């Protein structure tokens, strides 16, 4: 039986209607980020259903979207929290998570940040030998610790989002296991968990199983484990022809592999996952207004009142986002290059077929819930947008948009 959430399967929801999105843009202005709460619940319940055959817990990777209203909603669903900075930890505590409901996995931080995590009482996950030695010398066996392993598995949509390869800065190499054992023996570390994360956009279930088997091989060196954390990387579709991770098949394979391992391990460690994009990507929309239609000898530009200062993923990862004209959904189909208003090359989409776009129309970017607002900036002294959450059919403001004074707030004059 799953240890968290409702365990009730829920199908994917229909996208928020164009009419409602236009009303939100009219009411709250644009650009604006919009999040559909029930879509998060649908994805969360898919996971709890898929992994119901083995004790499994889900720690939401809040780096994807850290608005405290989103965090509180996920806590209501039964989810736990994965944090990568001490301020994410503090946001989680502020949102109502108990310390033992938070897993803290920092990378390349000063040891004082890890100590602050200990002082706050959260679960600590360490990903390099140096920090592991310092932790052991200070805390020994008095404070439980998780160790992040790099399994040297190349996984994910591209090298930028793969974190388990041999050149990755994340995790302690699987080939340094003897060194880890020496540190544990010397300092008396109380190792309660093992962790790995190979990347994002993983469609092949076998990648997870290969990683799980590596973790089982490591686990026999640590006889008191409470959990094995496989990170995440579940793929959600961004375009119509993309395949998502078959979490139901994965749940069956994980349960079978775990049952076999536990026969000899004499304990039943929980399996943990850290879904971020999987939970919030589809819930989000970025609504923008078309400022100008500009025809050149090469293309027709639809220039919008946003840019990579609001949605960086297309420029940073070459990520694809569906775009639709929500003001003219029945217009003739035409080809546009959608660009932003930043004084840099900020092309959202080349040669995209859209319903006829007119100046003043609203466009909606889909799959904007993960790493959208979270990676936004004030580049070109542009203002960050507002955030709106739809729950039970009602849209409410969960973050005000910037005003000019916000640009000056921390400047010393």
Q: Give a yes or no: residue 405 inside a domain.
A: no
Is 365 in the same domain as 299? yes
CATH of the domain at 362: 2.40.37.10
263: domain CATH number is: 3.20.20.10
pLDDT for 201: 76
Residue-wise pLDDT tens digits, 201-254 = 787 899 999 999 999 999 999 999 999 999 988 998 898 888 899 999 999 999
Pairing of the two strands 80-83 and 102-104:
parallel
On whether residue 395 sits in a domain, the answer given is no
The answer on 59 and 199 residing in a single domain is yes
pLDDT in tens, 76-102: 999 999 999 999 999 999 999 999 999
Q: Which of 62, 146, 283, 343 is catalytic?
A: 343
- pLDDT exceeds 80 at position 42: yes
> Which of 219, 329, 349 lies closest to 271 in space, CA to CA?
219
Burial 266-279 (b: 16+ CB within 10 A, else e): eeebbbbbbbbbbb
Q: How sure is the predictor about 15, in pLDDT bands with cuts at 50, 70 and 90?
A: confident
- Domain-located, residue 26: no
Domain boundary among 229, 253, 277: 277
pLDDT: is 15 or 408 the higher one? 408
Per-residue pLDDT for 6 more than 50? no
Residue-level pLDDT at 167 = 61
Establish if 145 belongs to a structural domain.
yes
Domain boundary among 277, 311, 334: 277
127 shares a domain with 225: yes
Tell me what pLDDT residue 7 has: 36
Backbone angles phi, psi at 320, to 5 degrees: -95, 135
According to DSSP, the residues that pair with 33 across neighbouring strands are 286, 387
Q: Is residue 14 part of a domain?
A: no
Write b or e for each residue in 176-215: b if 16 or more Cβ atoms lie within 10 A of its Cβ, otherwise e.
beeebeebbeebebebbbbbbbbbbbbbebebbbebbebb
pLDDT digits (tens, 9 = 90+) for 142-174: 999 999 999 888 655 544 444 444 566 888 999
Residue 56 has pLDDT above 90, yes or no: yes
| Residue 198 and residue 81 share a domain | yes
Peptide bond into 335 cis (omega under 30): no
Indicate whether 241 belongs to any domain.
Answer: yes
- Give yes or no: residues 230 and 344 share one domain: no
Separation between Cα atoms, residue 97 and residue 328, nearest integer Å: 43
Between residues 382 and 164, which one has the greater pLDDT?
A: 382
Sign of CA dihedral 160, 164, 167, 168: positive
Shared domain check, 317 and 187: no
Question: Residue 12: its pLDDT value, please?
Answer: 60
Q: What residues does 390 pair with on adjacent strands?
A: 36, 395
Known catalytic membership, residue 108: no
Query: Which pair of tokens denotes residue 150?
Result: 């790099």
C-alpha 258/C-alpha 365 separation (Å) is 40
End residue of a domain, out of 277, 312, 330: 277
116 and 245 in a single domain? The answer is yes
Q: Looking at the structure, do residues 235 and 360 belong to the same domain, yes or no? A: no
Parallel, antiparallel, or unpaired: how do β-strands 270-273 and 386-391 relate? unpaired
pLDDT at 162: 41
The pLDDT of 319-329, averaged and rounded, is 96
Asked if residue 10 is part of any domain, the answer here is: no
Give pLDDT, residue 2.
Answer: 37
For the ranges 153-167, 341-355, 369-383, which has the lowest average pLDDT? 153-167
Tokens standing for residue 92: 């989680």
Q: Name which of 203, 182, 197 is nearest 151 in CA terms.
A: 197
Higher pLDDT residue, 188 or 266? Answer: 188
Across the range 172-193, mean pLDDT stands at: 95
Dihedral pair phi/psi, residue 51, rounded to 5°? -110, 25
Spatial separation of the C-alpha atoms in residues 407 and 378, rounded to whole Å: 8
Within a domain: 22: no
pTM for the structure as a whole: 0.92
Identify the domain containing residue 325 by its residue range.
284-382
Q: Are residues 217 and 240 in the same domain?
A: yes
Secondary structure, 3-state, the chain: CCCCCCCCCCCCCCCCCHHHHHHHHHHHCCCEEEEEHHHHHHHHHHHHHHCCCCCEEEEEECCCCCCHHHHHHHHHHCCEEEECCHHHHHHHHHCCCCHHHEEECCCCCCHHHHHHHHHHCCEEEECCHHHHHHHHHHHCCCCEEEEEEECCCCCCCCHHHECCCCCCCCCEEHHHHHHHHHHHHHHCCEEEEEECCCECCECCHHHHHHHHHHHHHHHCCCCCCCEEECCCCECCCCCCCCCCCCHHHHHHHHHHHHHHHHHHHCCCCEEEECCCHHHHCCCEEEEEEEEEEEECCCCEEEEECCCCCCCCHHHHCCCCCCEEECCCCCCCEEEEEEECCCCCCCEEEEEEEEECCCCCCEEEECCCCCCCHHHCCCHHHCCCCEEEEEECCEEEEEECCCCHHHHHCCCCC
Same domain as 309, residue 190:
no
Mean residue pLDDT across the chain: 92
Domain count, the chain: 2
Residues 268 and 372 in one domain: no
Q: What is the mean pLDDT of residues 40-61?
A: 97
- Domain identity same for 249 and 291: no
Alpha carbons 181 and 111: distance in angstroms, whole number = 21
- CB-based contacts of 97-103 (< 8 A; 24+ apart in sequence): 97/71, 99/123, 101/75, 103/59, 103/146, 103/229, 103/272, 103/274
């Amino acid at each position: 039986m799953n240890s968290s959430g409702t365990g009730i399967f829920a199908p994917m929801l229909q996208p928020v209607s164009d009419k409602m999105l236009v009303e939100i843009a009219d009411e709250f202005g644009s650009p604006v980020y919009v999040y559909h709460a029930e879509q998060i619940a649908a994805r969360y319940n898919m996971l709890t259903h898929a992994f119901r055959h083995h004790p499994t817990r889900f720690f939401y990777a809040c780096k994807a979207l850290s608005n405290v209203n989103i965090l509180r909603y996920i806590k209501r669903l039964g989810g736990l929290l994965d944090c990568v900075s001490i301020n994410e930890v503090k946001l989680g505590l502020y949102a109502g998570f108990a310390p033992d409901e938070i897993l803290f996995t920092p990378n390349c931080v000063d040891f004082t940040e890890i100590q602050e995590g200990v002082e706050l009482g959260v679960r600590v996950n360490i990903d390099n030998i140096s920090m592991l030695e310092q932790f052991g010398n200070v805390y020994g066996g008095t404070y439980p610790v998780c160790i992040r392993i790099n399994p040297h598995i190349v996984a994910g949509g591209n090298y930028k989002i793969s974190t388990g390869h041999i050149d990755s800065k994340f995790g302690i190499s699987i080939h340094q296991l003897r060194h880890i054992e020496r540190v544990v023996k010397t300092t008396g570390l109380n190792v309660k968990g093992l962790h790995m994360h190979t990347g994002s956009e993983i469609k092949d279930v076998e990648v997870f199983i290969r990683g799980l088997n590596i973790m089982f091989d490591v686990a026999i060196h640590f006889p008191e484990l409470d959990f094995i954390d496989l990170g995440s990387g579940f793929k959600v579709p961004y375009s119509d022809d993309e395949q998502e991770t078959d979490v139901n098949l994965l749940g069956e394979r994980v349960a079978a592999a775990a049952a076999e391992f536990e026969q000899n391990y004499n304990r039943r460690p929980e399996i943990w996952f850290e879904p971020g994009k999987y939970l919030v990507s589809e819930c989000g929309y970025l609504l923008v207004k078309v400022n100008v239609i500009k025809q050149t000898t090469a293309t027709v530009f639809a220039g919008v009142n946003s840019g990579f200062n609001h949605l960086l993923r297309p420029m940073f990862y070459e990520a694809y986002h569906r775009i639709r004209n929500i003001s003219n959904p029945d217009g003739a189909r035409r080809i546009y290059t959608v660009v932003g208003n930043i004084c840099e090359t900020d092309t959202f989409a080349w040669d995209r077929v859209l319903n006829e776009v007119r100046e003043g129309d609203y466009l909606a970017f889909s799959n904007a819930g993960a790493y959208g607002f979270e990676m936004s900036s004030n580049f070109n002294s542009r203002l960050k947008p507002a955030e709106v959450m739809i729950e039970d059919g009602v849209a409410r403001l969960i973050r005000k948009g910037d005003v000019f004074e916000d640009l000056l707030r921390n400047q010393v004059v």
